[in-house]
Structure 1
Amino acid sequence: MHADTTAAHTHDVAAPEASEEDLEQQALSRIIHAFQTYAVEAEGEVARWEKNIRKLSPELRAMVPELNNKPGHARKCIMENASFFDGLVAAALADGPGQGLDVIGRLDNQSQTHRASPNDVDKVRYVLKNLVRDWSEEGAAERAQSYGKICTELRTSLGNLDGKDGGEQLRVLVPGAGIGRLCVDIASMGFHAQGNEFSYYMLLSSAYVLNHMEKAGQHTIYPWLHSNCNQMSDSDQLRQVHIPDRAPADILKASSSGSLSMVAGDFVEVYGDPKARETFHAVTTCFFIDTAHNIFEYLDVIWHVLKMGGHWINLGPLLYHWADAHTYLPTEEMSIELPLDQVEKAAKALGFHLVRKQMVPATFNVNPRSMLQTSYNCVFWTMVKVPRPHKKPTFQAAYGINRRP
């Protein structure tokens, strides 16, 4: 199975004379470099552990002899994770020209000792946790809380059409597709699932999983290695997780008619295009709508891409991702933060009819063995596209709203 991927857009800011293609290549080069230098950055962290341990007196270290052994065990875990990322990068470079990832020339100029930014380091490590959520047995319980409910609701909403609508395969859009498990599960139901993803970290990882993982347990990773706090034991922190729990191709064998594609890029830019109008029978959003700079735009684009009578199934909280961006970014980013009742009000005004709604508990990338367990009280609703109360152009066109000042 080979995911169909188009060019992506990034948040990176560069000199005005740089072309869009140059910006894309610079961003991708930086991100691949962050994957490549994972071991260097992780070794620096373990060295810090050792430095602090050495500050303890021999008497104190003797009380907990495991302190002296942990760095050595951690280094073995780092090498396993680094080996996984090396495979991911090699696959990206091998697939590159056909996937819009032709960056080999730029990477030749990158020094392996050049430090990745703290933000890039964190995002590389975040990939490990997302792999657990989407593609491990350990993540099955968390997937059931969200993906499972969405798939059941999708079957309820569209199942009577048996994957077809007048001979046309039913198309389901999955914005914020991440590493692709929800897309694969939906495709296995007989639908055409189209995933959309903005992050190169997720795009490269999903391409590796979807195109290069052929059997269960093909890789071993250590996803919780970098979380020192709230651990029950070193063995919990340094435990291995096998991925995938099932090969994507094996999951898709459940359906002879299901299919899958991936489209890279900003959700509003890609699907706000007039050509995308009324091209999907359903949109499923899972922990996604709060990634919006302007949630009105998201609602408008979801309505735009749905066929009349199409279903929007949403599950997630309202942890608006850009709400505190002004505290860590040099430029101010737009962020509209509506409470849930006002999101529903806006959806109704923009042409949605609420069919079902409930609040359900769900976690996201939670370590099941951690002393810290965070669960969201998520809204889980199904809405149907209906004619808008008043004829008007799309919200973006009508009001000229931009996500950035």
Structure 2
Amino acid sequence: MPFSQAEIEEEQAHFANVITTFQQYAAYSLAANNRRRKDLFTLPVADQEILESLKYKEKLAEADRAILANAEFLNQVVANPEIFGHDLDEDDGPEEGPSGGSGGQSTTGKGHPHDHPQTHSHSHSHSHGSHSHSHGSPSAITSVSDTSKRKKYRPTDFDMDKLRSTLKQFVRDWSEEGKSERELSYGPMRDALLQHFADIPPEERGNFRVLVPGAGLGRLAWDVAKLGFACQGNEFSHYMLLSSYFILNRTDEIGKHTIYPYVHSFSNLPSNTAMLRPITVPDVLPSSLPPGSNFSLVAGDFEEIYGAENNEDEPQAGTWDAIMTCFFIDTAKNIVNYLRIIHRILAPGGVWINCGPLLWHFENNSTNDPSIELNLEEVKALARKIGFEISNKRTIDTTYTNNTQSMLGYTYHAAFWTATKVI
């Protein structure tokens, strides 16, 4: 179904707002750090002197330097946001500020694929909004009927929280630091995939199609393609799509970029190192997929892209041999439809591999979106009713974008299973 002009303008506005959020990271974060300086000067002189002896001001200065380093990296991410095919207004460029970065304009049209040296590509379908594994209300979307009259967007606290979460996602997916965390989730999923196709010679894995919805920054999908399977990731968030495109297509060296993902909070820290330590990305060369690898990322809403009964571009029913959902199914507004789509697009005997909690993203939302929230037993019962035979059930204790050196950490008792399509 073609998109209306209003829908196209709405997405263009949201995309421009996301770009602005990247570009305004430095100003926003430095202002937050300056608040700490102002607070320091409200104290009695004697207290200031004590804190001076603890080198508190030096810590603030080091935080400033880390923020500026992050800003330089984030400005590179959005320097050429060409995967979306949007024309940004001339006044959507970055404002003058201490970060010294510069934004770019989108230059390609809707749906245009972008080839990676190892046949990785991004393609695009229109979608709206974004969400992630964090609490909060969705970012406001500015509707535009006349882009020339649209005021400069001012990123909200929620926007910046999503951007800070994106920095941590780089750690989870593309750093040595994040290896232990991602292996708790990705490792069992890869093992289950290999077990399901154990009778397939490695050289024939390319004949089997694997879908990874909610792909984030793409590491799990990349890992699956590295194993030799034909793999497609799907992602909805512009923050993730811009970042995955950058790391996968514009990064040509291991450890090329240095970020400081933990600089934004001074709480629950045993030392300055826990907050200010640098993280280098990526830990592998994204272009190191075997020659001829079939690896792609598709932008857009999972239900819109894969849920249509009659998709003229690529009929989906029965075309996927495996679907891997990692921290994904709880992004559903209607979990019944999510599982129905997964079942419909799997080939007969295809496998669905799941790992994740049930942090229902739209629970108590402020946007009047529907939200159906089931407990784990209900989700499993629903899966059986739809036509899955569930096996290999277990609980995996894991974190998600956790600072390993923090005094605080959240552990998910994530549900893991494999399920085969039986009807």
TMscore range, shorter length: 0.7 to 0.9
Match for 1:370 among 363, 384, 406? Answer: 406
Residue 120 of structure 1 and its aligned partner are, at CA, apart by 1.1
Q: TM-score, normalised by structure 2?
A: 0.81
Asked whether the equivalents of residues 213 and 233 of structure 2 are also in contact (C-alpha less than 8 Å), the reply is yes
Counterparts of 1:227-238 in structure 2 under 5 Å?
A: 227-238=265-276
Q: If the length of structure 1 is used for normalisation, what is the TM-score?
A: 0.85
Q: Judging changes above 3 Å, is the alpha-carbon distance between structure 1 residues 111 and 242 closer, same or farther for their aligned structure 2 residues?
A: closer
Q: 1:77 to 1:178 in 2, by over 3 A?
A: same
Alignment partner of 2:220 out of 168, 177, 182: 182
> Within 2, Cα distance between the matches of 1:163 and 1:28?
40
Query: SS at 1:108's partner residue?
Result: helix
1:76-91 equivalent positions in 2, closer than 5 A: 76-91=65-80
Code of the aligned partner of 2:263:
L
Structure 1: any 5+ residue segments left out of the alignment?
Answer: 1-8, 10-16, 388-405
Is residue 356 of structure 1 aligned with residue 392 of structure 2?
yes
* Residue identity opposite 1:101 in structure 2: G
Aligned to 1:263: 298
What is the alpha-carbon distance in structure 1 between the residues aligned to residue 90 and residue 186 of structure 2?
A: 37
Distance (whole Å) between structure 1 residues aligned to residue 68 and residue 397 of structure 2: 36
Alignment partner, residue 84 of structure 2 = 100
Partner of residue 62, structure 1: 49
Q: Give the paired residue count.
A: 358
Give distance in 1, aligned partners of 2:267 and 2:230: 42
CA distance in 2, matches of 1:383, 1:318: 18
Q: Look up the match of 2:369.
A: 333
Alpha-carbon offset, residue 164 of structure 1? 7.1
Q: Distance in 2 between matches of 1:131 and 1:332?
A: 31
SS at match of 1:383: strand
**Could you tell me which residue of structure 2 aligns to residue 246 of structure 1?**
284
**CA deviation string 1:27-84 (max 9, x = no partner):** 1111001101110101110111111111222322333332121221111111111110
For residues 78-98 of structure 1, what are the alpha-carbon distances to aligned partners after superposition, in whole Å with 9 as ceiling and x for unaligned? 111111011111132xxx2xx
State the distance in 1 between where 2:206 and 2:410 align. 42
Report deviation, 1:323.
1.0
Kindly state the Cα deviation for residue 18 of structure 1 after the two structures are TM-superposed.
4.8
Q: Of the candidates 358, 366, 373, which is equivalent to residue 318 of structure 1?
A: 358
Q: Is the 8 A contact 1:355 1:382 kept in 2?
A: yes
Q: Is the 8 A contact 2:214 2:234 kept in 1?
A: yes
CA RMSD of aligned residues (A): 1.8
| Identical columns (%) | 40
The 1:355/1:107 distance shift into structure 2, 3 A limit, reads farther
- The structure with the largest helix share of the pair is 1
Give me the whole-angstrom Cα distance separating, in 2, the residues matched to 1:172 and 1:289.
17
Deviation per residue, 1:209-237 (Å, 9 max, x gap)? 00011111100000001122111112221
Q: 1:151 to 1:20 in 2, by over 3 A?
A: same
Q: How does 1:214-229 map to 2 (within 5 A)?
A: 214-229=252-267
Indicate the SS of the match to 2:199. helix
Please name the residue that 1:28 is paired with.
15
Partner of 2:419: 383
Displacement of 1:163 in angstroms is 5.2
The separation in 2 between residues aligned to 1:370 and 1:382, in whole angstroms, is 33
Preserved CA contact (<8 Å) 2:23 2:94: no
CA distance in 1, matches of 2:11, 2:380: 36
Alpha-carbon distance, 1:110 to partner = 5.7
Structure 1 CA distance for aligned equivalents of residues 397 and 201 of structure 2: 30
Aligned partners of 1:232 and 1:371 also within 8 Å: yes
Task: Please state if 1:41 is matched with 2:24.
Answer: no
Which whole-Å deviations, capped at 9, do the CAs of 1:340-369 have from their partners, x for residues lacking one?
Answer: 111111101101011211111111011000
